[in-house]
Amino acid sequence: MNLYFWIPVAILLILLIAAFYKKYKLLKNMEQTPNSAHLLELTDATFKKTIQKGVTLVDFWAPWCMPCKIQGPIVNEVAELMHDKATITKLNIDIHKRTASELGIRSIPTIIIFKNGKPFTKLVGAKTKNVLTKALNDALKD
């Protein structure tokens, strides 16, 4: 094999390594993002009491879930934006399995918006800030 074959192969390999490193750094930084001061962490014991009054967004997540790591900072932004209108929460389904089981959570991230204790909207998969704020505003209107 000649040099003209190996140069493009080396360039391609360098580009692939750089792309993987960039994604690794992005995910590593997401793990270190602190929760908003307006974001409540729920437990099986606090879940029902928290959702009883008003509009509550609950992010069902797990630490090993890559889409959840993407969704987490978005939920933090929504908590900063909407904390005066709705309660923004998250529940780790690895630790608090009973609540997730009772609600039939099969895929994560799942976000359920509750209105006065009853499910209003269920969103499965990572969603944008605009989708979440629109869903919350819809729940606040009714």
Q: Is 65 a catalytic residue?
A: yes
Buried/exposed code over 42-55 (b: 16+ C-beta within 10 A; e: otherwise): beeeebeebbeeeb
Nearest to 81 by CA among 127, 39, 142, 141: 39
**The token pair that represents 119 in the structure block:** 């499910």
Whether 67 is a known active-site residue: answer: no
Q: Which of 51, 55, 65, 136 is catalytic?
A: 65
Contact (Cβ atoms closer than 8 angstroms) between residue 112 and residue 89: no
Catalytic residue among 57, 68, 86, 91: 68
Residues acting as catalytic residues: 65, 68
